[in-house]
Amino acid sequence: MLQIQNVVVSFDLLKEKFLCDLGACHGACCIEGDAGAPLELDEVAQIEDVLPHIWDTLAPRAREVIERQGVAYNDPEGELVTSIVDGKDCVFTCYDNQGCCYCAIERAFREGKSKFLKPVSCHLYPARVSDFGPYKAVNYHRWDVCRAAVLRGQQHDLPVYRFLREPLIRRFGADWYAELETAVAELKKQGML
């Protein structure tokens, strides 16, 4: 483990390789699992603000779920997460003609219809952030659906923390990320990475 400010970073984020391969997985991280994506409390309002811009792109069943329970719920562990359809798909998952899923929230952002990119937990995947009072922990989450991303990351020699540069800066700030890169360089000099 490596501590940068009040954030403890798993060495797996520094050692393991990762590069999404949407052509291989078809966005399975948005449709697999038993709960929605973790949310920050302020993200619920941001999602509700973008909802009118994406409503017509959502599946009818997803709209039903949102009308019934809203854009988020508390999972069995008490964590605030995006609502899901039939215990599976995120309500914001949409599909293209090739069966590849995409995030309706992110699509609205890229089309200039919203200033909210998507939940930071989605942006940070395959990293997961845990809250321990004044400290946060960032760990690498291994998931079978991302096997192709691991292989592609190995081919490109891209460590997870570099793949996640933009979302890590979004979550912890540019100064924090610069400290992380400095610490990684020092660990490499010492032969620890």
Two tokens, residue 187: 């660990």
Is 130 in a helix, a strand, or coil? strand
- pTM more than 0.85: yes
Contact between residue 81 and residue 75 where contact means Cβ atoms under 8 Å apart: yes
Determine the pLDDT at residue 145: 85
**pLDDT digits (tens), the chain, 193 positions:** 899 999 999 999 999 999 998 888 877 777 777 778 999 999 999 999 999 999 999 999 999 999 999 999 999 889 999 999 988 889 999 888 888 888 999 999 999 999 999 999 999 999 999 989 899 999 999 988 899 999 999 999 999 999 999 999 999 999 999 999 999 999 999 998 8
CA-CA distances (angstroms) from residue 125 to 26, 53, 83, 149? Answer: 15, 25, 18, 11
Determine the pLDDT at residue 27: 79
Determine the pLDDT at residue 25: 81
Pairwise CA distance, residues 183 & 175, whole Å: 12
Determine the pLDDT at residue 24: 83
Contact between residue 140 and residue 1 where contact means Cβ atoms under 8 Å apart: no
SS (H, E, C) 28-75: HHHCCCCCCCECCHHHHHHHHHHHHHHHHHCCHHHHHHHHHHCCEEEC
| Residue that the structure tokens 């997870």 belong to | 160
Please report, for the chain, the start and end positions of each structural domain, with discontinuous segments joined by +. Answer: 1-18+126-193, 26-114
| Residue that the structure tokens 């460590």 belong to | 159
Determine the pLDDT at residue 69: 94
CA-CA distances (angstroms) from residue 42 to 12, 64, 69, 119, 124? Answer: 29, 23, 18, 10, 17
Determine the pLDDT at residue 141: 92
CA-CA distances (angstroms) from residue 178 to 116, 165, 173? Answer: 24, 10, 9
